[in-house]
Homo-oligomer: A and B are copies of this chain.
Amino acid sequence: MRIGVLTSGGDCPGLNAVIRSVVHRAVVDHGDEVIGFRDGWKGLLECDYLKLDLDAVGGILARGGTILGSSRVQPSHLRDGVERAKEHVAELGLDAIIPIGGEGTLKAAKLMSDSGLPIVGVPKTIDNDIAVTDVTFGFDTAVGVATEALDRLKTTAESHQRVLVVEVMGRHTGWIALHSGMAAGAHAIVVPERPFDIEELTRRVGERFEAGKRFAIVVAAEGAKPRAGTMEFDEGGKDIYGHERFAGIARQLSVELEGRLGKEARPVILGHVQRGGTPTAYDRVLATRFGWHAVEAVHRGEFGHMTALRGTDIVMTPLAEAVETLKTVPDERYAEAETVL
């Protein structure tokens, strides 16, 4: 068989592990040929690819990033994207395409699958917000990086007698905030799923100080917002001169908490450091298994599906289901975290 693989969307630790695993399983065990498209769908649309043999994937398992490059180009955004993809698949004699990507990529994958292309998807997002899989690779690394940072910040907050508001990734869902906040013993966690009440938050943090504690750590998902009308809130963006205004939840929350509590409060924005670098062992194993099972699905002809983790098993799940809803933090999970805050 001849299989094309591509990585699309933002960086995510584990991408290289999937690529390596696809190549190992396909080439070594099935005698397949594998090619990798450069820069995501763009490579498919422009027929830009390289051959992937064992040497090409040597030493990449533990490396962040993707040897194939990535882009945010989606074939669905182009008028003739799907047509061009079909032509190139035929031209290259491909029996299957394995796109590795997030929500946008999986939607494009579904579109292309619907149009008849033999697609097996592999879900990828550090945000962990894809509904049909228990976990996605990259998430554990992101949580690990955020937790390590929070561990460090605690001693500083304490010695400075401060409130630190730490912004972690998560525009639409609060998974990273929830897990890193729980893991590091944060004192409050705000997530997009539950607009926060600034007064309640102030009270919670204030109670710590009243109880004699000398610091507090608030973890805020970048997409967290105050309940409407309870606090002035600037969504960021550009000012009238077109300059980036650099707002953000952590900066605004720290100003607000400092004003209300009369305690020094400072923002810390962890940023891109959460989505790069060496993946954790957990993510490497999950990514490797996803790659392995994607090749198996190709050989079974199980197209229009993507790999998913359910318990300890890797299963195949229809692409259609995968892109239907976002997996948000349920109330029960938030409640667990709230106790030990």
Contacts and interface: CB of A to CB of B under 8 A. Distances in A.
Interface of A: 7, 10-11, 15, 20-21, 24-25, 28-29, 61-66, 69-71, 134-135, 140, 143-147, 149, 151-161, 164, 179-180, 182-185, 214, 243-244, 246-247, 251, 255, 266, 268-273, 275-278, 280-282, 284-285, 288-289, 292, 310-312, 336, 339-340
B292 A62 contact: no
Contacts of A159: 7, 10-11, 15, 65-66, 69-70, 276
A154 B272 contact: no
Contacts of A246: 246-247, 251
A335 to B, nearest CB: 9
Nearest to A181: B285
A70 to B, nearest CB: 5
A20 B339 CA distance: 11
B155 A11 contact: yes
Given A11-B155, A64-B155, A182-B285, A339 B25 contact: yes
7 contacts: A66-B159, A144-B281, A146-B281, A152-B272, A155-B276, A155-B277, A288-B336
Contact of A24 (B10, B155, B276, B339): B339
Contact of A153 (B66, B183, B214, B273): B273
Nearest to A63: B155
Nearest to A291: B340
- Which of A144, A251, A255, A339 has most chain B Cβ within 10 Å? A339
Contacts of A140: 281-282
Q: Which of A28, A63, A161, A280 has the most CB of B within 10 A?
A: A280
A339 B27 CA distance: 10
A340 B255 contact: no
A256 B71 CA distance: 23
Contacts of A282: 140, 143-144, 183, 280, 282
B340 A24 contact: yes
Count identical subunits in the complex: 4
A311 B288 CA distance: 19
A284 B182 contact: yes
Contacts of A144: 280-282
A153 B269 contact: no
A315 to B, nearest CB: 11
A330 to B, nearest CB: 9
Nearest to A309: B311
Nearest to A140: B282
Contact of A29 (B63, B149, B339): B339
Contacts of A153: 272-273, 276-277
A11 to B, nearest CB: 4
Nearest to A23: B340
Contacts of A243: 255
Nearest to A179: B285
A71 to B, nearest CB: 8
A179 B244 CA distance: 30
A278 B246 CA distance: 31
